[in-house]
Chain A
Amino acid sequence: MIETREGGCHCGRVRFRVRVDLAEVLECNCSICTKKGILHLIVPPDQFELLRGRDALTTYQFNTNTAKHTFCGHCGMHPFYVPRSHPDHVDVNARCLDGIDMTALRPRMVDGRDWEATWGAPRCGDELREQMLVGGMRRFVDDRNL
């Protein structure tokens, strides 16, 4: 069920509003997601509004430099970022939604350690890429009987 939620970092400098379906939450085991502990809610940009804090954000990049790992430079929270798998989307950290009940979330696991197998081929046309991403995810789910 898609709902409107607000959220942000801890110190309050970064705030956002998002239209999101909490049933779509993902957890990834890649190197940075493990350390961030992030729970992913990937939304198109028209469902995300940054209410404040653009200037408070620091961006960290590595490897392919596709993802933009944004965090609040004051409190260090990672409320959202631009993911490598969907660089035209925004990936909101469910942990940073106001009043979130962590015990109610049922994240689906994504094998980010084997990134290519999970997310499909390198970047190409958007439509084809979306199909490949969906295919990659389906293969991942089928392979593991999830």
Chain B
Amino acid sequence: MIETYEGGCHCGRVRFRIRADLSRLSECNCSICTKKGILHLPVLPKDFELLAGKDELTTYQFNTNIARHTFCRHCGIHSFYVPRSDPDKISVNARCLDAVNAATLQPSRHFNGRNWEEAYAARREAEGA
């Protein structure tokens, strides 16, 4: 079910509002997702509004340089980013939704990002792309 949520980093400089479906939560085991501990909530750009903090973000890129790993330069929290798998979407970190209880967040999908190309091809096939 699509609902409206707000969220942000820890120091409060970065704030966003989204329309998202929490049942579409996913988790990935690749090198950077493991370290970030991110729980991915993919949203279309039209369903994402950055309310504050554009100038507070630092962007980290590596490997293919497609993904844009943005984090607040003050508190280091990764509240959203542009993912390599869906560079036309925004992946919001469900951990950063206001008042969220992480224990209740149950990813419904697992992306085997350690074998990224294979996992991506399998996902595209499953989606009928």
Contact = CB atoms under 8 A, between A and B. Distances in A.
Interface of A: 9-11, 29, 31-32, 34-39, 58, 60, 62, 69, 71, 73-79, 93, 95-96, 100, 102, 109
Given A36-B37, A60-B76, A78-B76, 7 more contacts: A32-B10, A37-B36, A73-B58, A75-B60, A77-B35, A79-B35, A102-B29
B58 A29 contact: no
B11 A34 contact: no
**Contact residue range for chain B?**
20 to 34
Contact of A10 (B37, B62, B96): B62
B32 A10 contact: yes
Nearest to B77: A35
B10 A74 contact: no
Contacts of B34: 95, 100, 102
B9, B10, B103 interface centre (most CB from chain A within 10 Å): B10
B78 interface: yes
